[in-house]
């Protein structure tokens, strides 16, 4: 297990997850909506993932057990998490939404301790507390209760997604192969729901399609695969903590592209989150009974 590699890809995935919501929200102004964006994000990434598998000579075939596990997993992260998170953008800002979404590291850690009886080191607890305080400091101002609820639910579902990857044994499968099937299953779920609910739209402007293609490439193709690599090498808890780079990315890009003000509160929040990530990095190679039992 290479935790350095896992942390690197976890941070990289968080960075991508941090800027793609901005592209997604911009696509709404070009005729799209949350369900359509989620569907196209998964559907358009399938050819890229298939090419990646063939290029690396990875067998595409899966057995019945793997099919069932992938069908369950695809209903979590790429489907329900994306739907609830993207849906919250209609009611609250991208920065606030991604911040609330980051309740999931707390949930992942709590589940691993209470349900799976995993041991967590004092350093990881400190990192988790610092990062959580940092995330909570981003919450301020007026907001929509529905938007907050949707973003919170997205965090709960994503926590289940990370844990399921680790506990189901799917993390031993080639990452792009997992993402390939997640995109297929999720596309089927979303297409059927979109047609039945009449919420799937096709009349999107060229600029909107450009935003959608970008989200598909970066989020579904790259970030979804990177998060799998992170969980495989660093485990769900550490991956979820370093993933807190996502709200930092959203805040910084909001300042750059949306001209949002940079406050002292946000600076302190970023420092706390970075401190938590640094602690995780420092203790990553400890080999004793106090570290997280994620192997």
> For every residue of 173-220, which 3-state class applies, written as one string?
CCHHHHHHHHHHHHHHHHHHHHHHHCCCCCCCCHHHHHHHHHHHHHHH
Residue whose token pair is 């994620």 = 294
| Averaged pLDDT for residues 181-196 | 95
Q: What are the tokens at 147?
A: 């938007």
Q: What are the tokens at 96?
A: 């606030």
**Nearest residue to 43 via CA among 160, 174, 205, 200:** 200
Q: How does residue 194 score in pLDDT terms, banded at 50, 70 and 90?
A: very high
Cβ(215)–Cβ(20) under 8 Å?
Answer: yes
Q: How does residue 270 score in pLDDT terms, banded at 50, 70 and 90?
A: confident
50-90 pLDDT, tens digit per residue, is: 998 998 899 999 999 999 999 999 999 889 998 999 899 88
Q: What was the pLDDT predicted at 284?
A: 53
Distance CA 134, CA 275 (A): 10
Q: What are the tokens at 63?
A: 């057995």
Q: How does residue 281 score in pLDDT terms, banded at 50, 70 and 90?
A: low
| Averaged pLDDT for residues 229-247 | 82
Q: What was the pLDDT predicted at 286?
A: 54
Q: What was the pLDDT predicted at 103?
A: 79
| Averaged pLDDT for residues 177-194 | 94
**Nearest residue to 293 via CA among 169, 173, 124:** 124
Q: Cα(first)–Cα(last) distance of the chain, in Å?
A: 8
Q: Considering only CA atoms, give the Rg of the chain.
A: 18
Cβ(211)–Cβ(24) under 8 Å?
Answer: yes
Cβ(117)–Cβ(128) under 8 Å?
Answer: no
Q: What are the tokens at 156?
A: 């709960």
Q: How does residue 258 score in pLDDT terms, banded at 50, 70 and 90?
A: low
Residue scoring higher pLDDT (151 or 255):
151
3-state secondary structure of 186: helix
Sign of the dihedral through C-alpha 31, 36, 38, 39: negative
Distance CA 179, CA 155 (A): 20
Tally the C-alpha atoms within 13 A of residue 261's C-alpha that lie toward its C-beta.
3
Tally the C-alpha atoms within 13 A of residue 187's C-alpha that lie toward its C-beta.
16
Element holding 222 (H helix, E strand): none
Does the pLDDT at position 290 exceed 80? no
Q: What are the tokens at 150?
A: 């949707």
Q: How does residue 96 score in pLDDT terms, banded at 50, 70 and 90?
A: confident
What pTM, to 2 d.p., does this model score?
A: 0.78
Instruction: Spell out the residues 6+ positions from residue 171 whose beta carbon is closer than 8 angstroms to its own.
Output: 165, 228, 231, 232
Q: What was the pLDDT predicted at 68?
A: 96
Q: What was the pLDDT predicted at 195?
A: 94
Q: What are the tokens at 29?
A: 């102004």
Instruction: Spell out the residues 6+ positions from residue 47 whose beta carbon is closer than 8 angstroms to its own.
Output: none
Residue scoring higher pLDDT (126 or 255):
126
């Amino acid at each position: 297990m290479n935790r350095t590699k896992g942390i690197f890809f976890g941070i990289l995935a968080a960075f991508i997850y941090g800027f793609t919501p901005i592209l997604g929200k911009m696509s709404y102004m070009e005729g799209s909506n949350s369900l359509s964006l989620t569907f196209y994000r998964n559907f358009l990434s399938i050819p890229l993932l298939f090419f990646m598998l063939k290029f690396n000579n990875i067998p595409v075939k899966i057995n019945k057990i793997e099919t069932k596990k992938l069908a369950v997993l695809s209903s979590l992260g790429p489907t329900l998490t994306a739907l609830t998170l993207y849906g919250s953008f209609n009611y609250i800002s991208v920065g606030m939404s991604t911040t609330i979404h980051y309740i999931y590291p707390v949930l992942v850690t709590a589940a691993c301790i209470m349900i799976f009886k995993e041991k967590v080191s004092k350093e990881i607890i400190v990192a988790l507390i610092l990062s959580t305080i940092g995330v909570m400091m981003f919450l301020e101002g007026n907001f929509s209760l529905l938007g907050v609820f949707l973003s919170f639910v997205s965090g709960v579902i994503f926590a289940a997604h990370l844990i399921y990857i680790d506990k189901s044994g799917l993390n031993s499968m080639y990452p792009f192969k997992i993402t390939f099937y997640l995109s297929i299953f999720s596309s089927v779920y979303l297409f059927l729901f979109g047609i039945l609910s009449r919420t799937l739209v096709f009349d999107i402007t060229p600029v909107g399609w450009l935003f959608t293609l970008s989200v598909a490439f970066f989020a579904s193709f790259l970030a979804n695969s990177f998060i799998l690599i992170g969980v495989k090498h660093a485990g769900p808890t550490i991956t979820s903590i370093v993933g807190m780079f996502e709200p930092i990315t959203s805040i910084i890009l909001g300042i750059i592209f949306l001209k949002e003000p940079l406050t002292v509160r946000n600076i302190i929040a970023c420092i706390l989150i970075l401190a938590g990530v640094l602690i995780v990095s420092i203790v990553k190679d400890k080999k004793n009974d106090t570290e997280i039992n994620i192997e």
